[in-house]
Structures are given as structure tokens and as C-alpha cells.
Structure 1
Amino acid sequence: MRSKTQTSRPRTGKVRRRRAAAGYSRAQVASLPLKGYTLPAADLKRGSSGTGVRQLQGALVKLGDMTQAQMNTGPGMFGALTEGSLKKFQQAHGVDAIGVYGPKTRAAFKALGAALDDTETPSTPTPEGLREKIVAEGLWGVAHQEQIHYSQSRPIDGIRLRHKLPLDIDCSGFVTLCYQWAGAPDPNGNHYSGEGYTGTLEAHMRHIPLSQVQPGDLCLWQGKHVSLVIQSGADPLLISHGSEAGPYEIRTSVQMKWYPEGTRLLWLTSPQGAEAGARRTLRREDEARGDPPAEEGLI
């Protein structure tokens, strides 16, 4: 019986070419390095955090504007490295290199094949009427400013007694009371233990852009002071307790003049999961810490 022998066609040396994706030429496929990537539809900037930032970082790594090692130092946190990498991308694609992920930058990413996730909710929903209650507590403070004094005492005065007067409190203590008396979760993440200051507010709350700010959110001058937003817009109206003269109403643009140039302005809202009682572990130096007067002589 003859044995079967396998034969094959001789190789011609030709390389098999990969077929281009439907609707695109080979050149277009090569110019769409982010095809299949999803990026957030909401604005992002330094201080932002969450899934959207992680998506942005992944795209920057894919394009070579950020290294994986740089991303690993803070995945999901929009810090100095992410800002610098985004500026590199913007410079290379004809976008103003300001380090903010906005409409023009999103358009540049879309031109590279990225899709936008417009199902992501940029702001955290709060129970109906809760923001109004927080603002009402702030206005109560303005109405009783003669009996509210500036003090860095901890635990926060009034934490166990709503509308206690006289009241001795600092800026972070005042906004904490506004949240507690309104029935909102502790913005410090401490279950209203009576501790907390601007640092715990910054660490626990969600950072948002000005365009998403609503009444009841916070305006924080990093390392300096915090105020309660009572009216949103391009120049939000705030309630500030930055000195013995407070609490008083003040526009952001006026308050801005009181702080050194370069002081970071952060906008904060209730974080995802706050209702579940997420707790930030206090460092030893955070215990019994308050905030010094920041606006002496302003009003």
C-alpha cells in the first residue's frame, strides 16, 4: 500500500496582509490607536478622582504620553503626573496645553478612535431636599453670627446639640455642623465623631469641576480654609466662617483676593458611598486638629 505524503504549495515570499477594519482604510486604522478605548464625557482636572481618571490615564499610557510606572503611582487620581502627561498630549494635538480634560481635549481623543462614556454620572445624587437643608443651616449661622465665635476647639462644638448657642467653632467645624444638622453623611468620613478639618474634608469628599458645583457643596482653599456654597454659577456665593466676624455671605471672587497667588481652589461634593458610612482613618496628627483663622479683617 502506498503511503500518503502531505504536499504543500511552495512559499512565494509574499507576506499576508491584515485586512483593514470595515469602513476604514489601512492608513485610517493605523491612525486610530484608541479604537476600542472608552473615555469619560465629563470634565476632569487636577484633584479629580475615580474611574474616569483611570480611563484617561490608560489612554495616555497607550499613546506613550504617560508611562505605566507613572500611572501606578496613583491610578484613578488626577495628580501632577497625569496633568503633565495630559499637557504633552495637548501640545502634540493642537489643544491649549492647560492640563484640563475638557471638550477640545475630548475631541482630540475621539479623532484617535476613542469613544465617550456619556452614561457616567459626573455628580453624586443626594436625597431630595438635602442640599436645601444644608444651605438652610448655613443661613441660620449667618443669622446668628453675633453668638458664633471663632475657635479651633475639638471635639467640634455643637456636634451633639443642634443650633447650640453660643457656638465656638472654626471653618471646617461650621460646614461639618451644616451637614450634620441637615441629616447628611459626615463630609469628613468620621461618623460625626467630633474630629475633622480641611484635610479630612479634602481627603474624603469627591473633587468636581466648577461646572458641576451645586448649593450644598464646599469650596476649599487647599491648606487654608473651607466655605459652604449656597448659590452656584460662574462666581458662586458662599457662606464663610474664616474669622471672628463670621459666618457671613461672600462671593468666591472676593474671597479669592484674600489668599496667596497659587493657592489651589478645590470644589468638593459628597463622595460616592458616603451613605454607606465610608470612614477615613485619622492619622495621629489629624486628631483634635482644627483650622486657624484665615480671613481676619476681611469683613
Structure 2
Amino acid sequence: MKKRREKRYWSIMLVPHSTNEIKVFKISSVKYKLLALGTIIATAIICTGLTITSLVEENKHLSEKIALANKLTEEQALLIEENEKEISKLKEEKIKQSRMTEEFKTLYKDLTHKYIEENMNEVVATRSTGRNDREFVESASKLKSILEELEKINHSDAEITTDLEDTQAKLTEYMNVVPTLWPTAGSVTSGFGYRTDPISFTRRFHYGIDISAPYGREIKASASGRVILSDWHGNYGKTVIIDHGRGITTLYAHCSKLLVSEGNTVNKGDFIALVGSTGRSTGNHLHFEVRVYDEAVDPMEYLDPR
């Protein structure tokens, strides 16, 4: 007869500090193993949960870092795009600078050397040659515009900078004494050349242009110079004549009031008189003449286009 297997137990004793009875709990070996297994499983579950929570948190931080990296990448892409645009703009400016420099060199040679340096003191303009002077005035105005644009661009080329300064000085000196500025606002009612005289109704040569303007409107000096007449001048009435040097003079007639005196120095654009109808005149207007070595030339060949 087989001997019956004896059950094993685990005892847990609770011993109080007081005099109370000691409590003893018996746990069978099977239950103990189950309890231990359950504890292990519970511990594993808790550890797994903590691990998952940690991974989720790390994933969240990683996602935030990725989002930040993407944002930085986009910002860098925008910055690169802006830099490319700026580089493209600089290239365009460089091309523009090169083009204008070449144009400047061409005009500089044609104008500065040929006209300004050689002909500054030998201005020759008559009715038959006035067109050549007009072409020069237009070319000089164009060169002046180019110079103004070139002044906005920094040049590392010292030679170009020197050329710019020298040419600007020569042009300023020349253009200041060339009557290109309209002396007053208004429409031209009578041009240069033969016409029917408005008073005698006979065919006569008109040595200037008539600009219609209201009584009292300001009259400006068409170019810089010295006033050589500011007085009544026969049929011209109250008149101002300015000597601009190099044989060029301008005349402003039929004024209502004279604002300058003989001997005064005036700059281009200064007010010198007021529009009127003095002398041999049929109404308020300005009679304007340009003379070179006392030879009347068409003022329209000099005045700026408008």
C-alpha cells in the first residue's frame, strides 16, 4: 500500500506588538506558487505598461522634434529662395550696370571729347545748323540721365568713377548755359520763322516764339548767365536779356514787371520777370528768343521736349 503524499504548507505569522494573539495563515504550496506566478505576471504587466507609456512619451517628443526639424527645413528653404532672389537681383543690377557703363563710355567719347572739349568755346548755331545743336542737346540730356542712374550704383572701378565726376562737371557747366528750360508754362501760339504779322497783317520774319500765358505768371531764366538788359526795349516793351557766355543770349519780351537788374547773375530757373503785354503786343504772352553771336535761332531746337 502506497504511502499518501503529505501536503506542504507555507505559514505566514503576524506578530502584533501588543499582547494580542499571534495570527498564523497557512498557504498551501500550490496556492503559494499561484500567488508567486500572479505576482510575476502583475509585475510584468506593470513593467510593460510603464515601458509602453515611456515609449509613447518618447514618440511624442520625437514627433515634436521632427515637426521642429520640418519647420526649420521650411524656413531654411524660404531663406535659400530669398537668397537666390537676392542673388538674381544683384546679377540683374550687375548686368544693368555693365550695360549702362558701356552706353556711358560710348556717349562719353562721342559727346565729351567731340563736342564739350573741342566745341565748348566755339558754339556755332544758325538757322541752318540749329538741328545739329538740337541733336547735341538731346544727346547731352540723355547722357545726363545715364549719369544720374550710374551715380546710384557703387563702382569699384576708379577710372569709371573719375570719368563720371569729370563728365558730370563738364555737362553741368555746359547744360547750365544752354537754354533748355522753358521760360514759362503755356502753349506756343506763334513759332520761329516767317508768319503773318498779327498787327500789320504783312508777311514778316518772327525771330522767336510766342508762349501764351496769363498776366503776371512768373518767367524763368532758360539758362544761367548775367543780365545785360532789364528795361524798356522798343517794340519789345519791358524786356530782359541774359548773356549766357560763349555767344549765347536769350531775350524775354512784353513783360509786365521786371524782377532783375542789369549786372545781376541768375541761375537756370530763377524768376526774372512776369508775363504781360507791354510794347507792340496784342495780348498777354511771352516773346522768347535765343541768339548765338547775335544770330537768331529757333528756340525749339534748344528747349526740352514736352
TM-score (norm 2): 0.27
Q: Which has the larger radius of gyration?
A: 2
Indicate the structure with greater helix content: 2
Greater relative contact order, per chain length (Cα 8 Å cut-off, separation 6+): 1
